[in-house]
Every structure is written in C-alpha cells, then in structure tokens.
Amino acid sequence: MILRLAIGSLSARALTVAMTVLAIALSVALFLGVEKVRTGAKASFSDTISGTDLIVGARSGSVQLLLYSVFRIGNATNNVTWESYRDIASRPEVDWIVPISLGDSHRQFRVMGTTVDFFERYKYRQGRRLEVAYGALMSDLFDTVIGADVATSLGYDVGDPIVVAHGIASFSEHKDQPFRVSGILDKTGTPVDRTVIVSLEAIEAIHVDWQNGAQVPGQSTPADVIRQMELTPKAVTAALIGVESPLQIFALQRAINEYPEEPLLAVLPGVALQELWGIVGVAETALLGVSAMVVVTALIGMMATIFSSLNERRREMAIFRAMGARPATIMGLLVLEAVLTAAVGALLGVLFLYLGLTVAQPMIDSAFGLWLPIEAPSIRELWVLLGVVAAGAIVSMVPAFRAYRLSLADGMMVKT
C-alpha cells in the first residue's frame, strides 16, 4: 500500500515528475549512447585490420606507421627499398607479404598501389575478407578497384575513367595515364572504403615521365610503350606480413627492426592499434565524463524538485505522522519516490536509446562506417542503470532528511 501511495503521490504531481523523469531518461540515454558509440568505435577501430601479423615500414613511430599504412592518415617519412622488401619477403618466417605503395591521390581519396594478394590477405572485423560488390579485380595495368565510399561520394561506376593526381591535394595530375574502374568493393567500415586501389606496377607506370616530383616537360610515354616496360618498383611505402607460425612474430619483428642495410620498423597491428587508441580514447573518455555529468545534473534536478515539493507536502506528511508513521517512514517514502522516479527515468532512457539506435544505426553506419549493434544491455550497462537508481536514492536523502526534520518538528500540526 505504501508503494501504491507513493505512486499515487507521484502521479498527483504528474507534470513535474514527468519532467524530472524525462530529464533523467534523456541523460541516461545520452550516457548509454556515448558508451555505445565508444565501445562501437573501439571495436570497429580494432577491427580495422586483422589477420596481419606485422606491418613493416621505414623507421618512424609505430603509431605513425599504423596511421599511414592502415588508416591512410599522414605520410611516410621514408620508403622501404625494393631490395629490403625482397630480402624480408624471402625470409623463412614469412608466409606472405603484401606491399603497399602510397603517395598519390584521386580527389580527396588516397591511391594505394599493391598486389592482388592484398584482396586475399587484408582482413577486417575478425577475419572478414574484402569482397567485390560490382565488377572485378584489376586485370589490366591501368585498372583500379575503388572502395565503397569512393564510389558513392564520387558517383563512380564500373568502367568510369579516373585520373590520379600526383601527391596529395595536388594540382598536377597523371593525365596521360587515366585509369579505368574495374571493380567496386563492398562497404567494410575500414579505411579501404576510402581508398583507390591500383597495382604496384601502375604506380610505377604513371611516374615513368616524372622526375623529382614533377613531370618532365614535353615527355609523355604512350600507354602501350609503358606496358612493355619493366615496372618493378624501386621502393614501397610499407608491407603487410603474415608469418608461418605465431611463435615467429617476435623473432621476425626483431630481425626487421635490426635490419642492417636500412632503418626499418615492424609493428604488431594490435599493439599499435592499442597505442593509437590510448591517444584517441582520451577524447572518448572525456565525452563519457561529460555525459556522466549530465546524469548527475538530472539527478540534482530531481533533488531540487523534491526540495521544492516539500512545503506543499507538509500536510501530507502530517497525515502520515498522525496515523503513527515515524519520521523515518516519511523519509523512506521520499527516498522510495526518488528511486521510483530514477528507475522509471532509467528504463525510459534505455527505451530512448534503443529507439534512437534503431533510427540512427543505418545512418551512422553509412556516414561513419561505424556499426552500433542493437543488442540486450550489457552487464556494464545494467550496472550503470543500477548506479543511476542508487545515485537517485542517495541524492534524495538530502531533501528526505529535511522532510524528516520538518515532520519531526511539525508533528501532526502543520504550522503554516
């Protein structure tokens, strides 16, 4: 009956209570939403590359190497010479090696030269392979396979011509050697979506007439002449390596890092990803902290509402006291109301979250390549909800204690 009376008392103040519940619900939804995005981002972040044991590049920082080789952010300070590449490739520990050559761009997208092995070896989201959505892989020297985002944002179809620009954000274009889109990849949510992939030889081919970063004036070798040329690259930007046995990863890493001919760096993608997340994650944690503050604000709002309702409820408390309720019972009643309010707010917040997720999931996926799974609340989220209710109870102790003192002083007679 006490519970029914508490609910009755709450519904008698339906409007203010509804506002409080709404504030708590929104703050809880925000908090859980940020948490969802955070875990989703972290998951899709660490899902960016899998199945690769080592990434090799010129010696720099491990995060930098990861950024340019996998995320296509920033630039390599140096290249790996073809001789070193061949050397590493021929080591017995190496099961497979895929070269990556970066440096050119098409519109805002990076162009990556590689071998067809890339499509087989590059894995994401726990071993998923790249799939061709339309068309086929490169068969000609001037064929290109583009990522899903490249195709949608530039409106390309299979067969369309592409002119690659020299460097990044540059106005000098490799106009003489246009490419043809031979295939478009499925969306992956990884940087591959934003990459124009060509063969390693094609990278050489478009630079045939170029020296020191500029086209030699008046010189333009026809495409069929280029096709006859020896197009072995002089260097690659980085390479992805798979080893024969996981036990050899560290030995190979050490060997590459101590490679005498050239300063090289080999990193474990997982370790580098974690290192990078340590940098990026700070912002996420800050965001989480801010949304936690929003929850606290909503709870303090509830406290203020209880406080301001105390005066008009003195009569009610006097009735309870006259019936023999102890002041502690009245205090408990107020805390119970706060717990109910917070619990309804928290549940409504979960509802908001799932509604929001249902609506926003496809949009977030297509806009950011971030897949937020709709699944039952995790243990962690349940703890968060429980924490909100508990915090509501604790916060309400303050006005409830005041009610305790008031009802002790008022007794059955309200002195107004």
Partner 1 sequence: MPNFSVLRGEAVLLLGESGSGKSTLLSLICGTVHADAGIVRVAGTDVSDYSGGQRDRFRAEQIGVIFQQFNLLPFGSVLDNVLLPLRFAPARRGRVENGPDEARGLCAALGLPDLLATKASTLSVGQQQRVAVARAMIGRPPIIIADEPTSALDATSQSAFLDLLFAQVRAHGTTLLMVSHDPRLGGRFDRVIAMEDIARIERQAA
The residues binding partner 1 (CB under 8 A) are: 1-2, 4-5, 8-9, 11-12, 315-316, 318-329, 408, 411-413
Chain-centroid distance, C-alpha 195: 18
Q: What minimum distance in Å lies between the beta carbon of 10 and partner 1?
A: 8
Radius of gyration of the chain from its Cα atoms, rounded to whole angstroms: 31
Q: What minimum distance in Å lies between the beta carbon of 328 and partner 1?
A: 8
Q: Which two tokens stand for residue 316?
A: 């009610």
What span, in angstroms and rounded, lies between the C-alpha atoms of 376 and 132? 33
Q: What minimum distance in Å lies between the beta carbon of 407 and partner 1?
A: 9
Q: Which is nearer to partner 1, 148 or 318 (CB)?
A: 318
What span, in angstroms and rounded, lies between the C-alpha atoms of 34 and 370? 13
Q: Which two tokens stand for residue 212?
A: 């020191």
Q: Which is nearer to partner 1, 2 or 398 (CB)?
A: 2
Query: Which of 232, 209, 298, 272 shows the shortest CA–CA distance to 83?
Result: 232
Q: What minimum distance in Å lies between the beta carbon of 346 and partner 1?
A: 24
What span, in angstroms and rounded, lies between the C-alpha atoms of 268 and 79? 19
Q: What minimum distance in Å lies between the beta carbon of 13 and partner 1?
A: 9
Q: What minimum distance in Å lies between the beta carbon of 332 and partner 1?
A: 12
Q: Which is nearer to partner 1, 28 or 400 (CB)?
A: 400
Q: Which is nearer to partner 1, 218 or 415 (CB)?
A: 415
Q: What are phi and psi of 80, to 5 degrees?
A: -105, 125
Q: Which is nearer to partner 1, 260 or 415 (CB)?
A: 415
Q: What minimum distance in Å lies between the beta carbon of 396 and partner 1?
A: 19
CB proximity list for 341: less than 8 A, separation 6 or greater: 10, 17, 20, 21, 24, 302, 392
- Is 31 exposed, middle or buried (CB count within 10 Å of its CB: 0-12, 13-18, 19+)? buried
Q: Which is nearer to partner 1, 236 or 330 (CB)?
A: 330
Query: Tokens 């406290």 correspond to what residue?
Result: 303
Query: For residues 154 and 181, is the Cβ–Cβ distance under 8 A?
Result: no
Q: Which is nearer to partner 1, 60 or 329 (CB)?
A: 329
DSSP one-letter string for 275-305: HHHHHHHHHHHHHHHHHHHHHHHHHHHHHHH
Classified as helix, coil or strand, 60 is coil
What span, in angstroms and rounded, lies between the C-alpha atoms of 3 and 58? 69
Q: What minimum distance in Å lies between the beta carbon of 21 and partner 1?
A: 17
Q: What minimum distance in Å lies between the beta carbon of 333 and partner 1?
A: 11
Query: For residues 353 and 40, is the Cβ–Cβ distance under 8 A?
Result: no
Q: Which is nearer to partner 1, 29 or 317 (CB)?
A: 317
Q: Which two tokens stand for residue 356?
A: 């929001």
Q: What minimum distance in Å lies between the beta carbon of 14 and partner 1?
A: 10
Q: Which is nearer to partner 1, 20 or 195 (CB)?
A: 20
Q: Which is nearer to partner 1, 323 or 379 (CB)?
A: 323
Number of DSSP helices (H) and strands (E) in the chain, helices first: 13, 16
- Is 102 exposed, middle or buried (CB count within 10 Å of its CB: 0-12, 13-18, 19+)? buried
